[in-house]
Amino acid sequence: MSKKLSTLITLILLLVFSTVARSESFHSSAISKRYSDVAMTPGEVKFAKMQGECLVGLKELNFKKKENFDAIAEWTNYRTISLLEQFPPCDVLVMMDVAQKKLREAE
């Protein structure tokens, strides 16, 4: 094998392995291991995961109808952004779920 080909293969392998290593190093569990003295407790992690799922719930709530314009979903999406600055995602999800239901009943 020529020296250039060998060097090229080595560089490609280093790039592949460094990319894999880098992508895993910023996962929440990897970060917790690096900072174990200040890491979140299991309860805090569970609470944070719940909040993440509530963010997905907000996305699903506000973007149900993708084909047609939905004025109610547009309104709640706009309000969601400002409410997330003040309240946790799960609180906002409950508020927006109730708001959408009440607005749809009034239609």
Question: How far is C-alpha 58 from the chain's CA centre?
Answer: 11
Higher pLDDT, 59 or 12: 59
Cα-based angle 98, 66, 62 (whole degrees, multiple of 5): 25
What percent of the chain shows pLDDT beyond 90? 46
Domain of residue 75, residue span: 40-107
Instruction: Look at residue 30 in the predicted model and tell me its pLDDT.
Output: 86
Same domain, 53 and 35: no
Model pLDDT, residue 28: 83
The domain total for the chain is: 2
Closest-CA residue to 40 (of 53, 51, 31): 31
Q: Is residue 16 located within the same domain as residue 52?
A: no
pLDDT, mean of residues 77-96: 95
Q: In this structure, what token pair is assigned to residue 21?
A: 């290593």
Average of per-residue pLDDT across 61-72? 82
Please check whether residues 17 and 65 belong to one and the same domain.
no
pLDDT tens track for 2-52:
666 677 677 777 776 665 555 567 888 888 888 889 989 999 999 999 999
The neighbour count for residue 88, using CB atoms within 10 Å, is 15
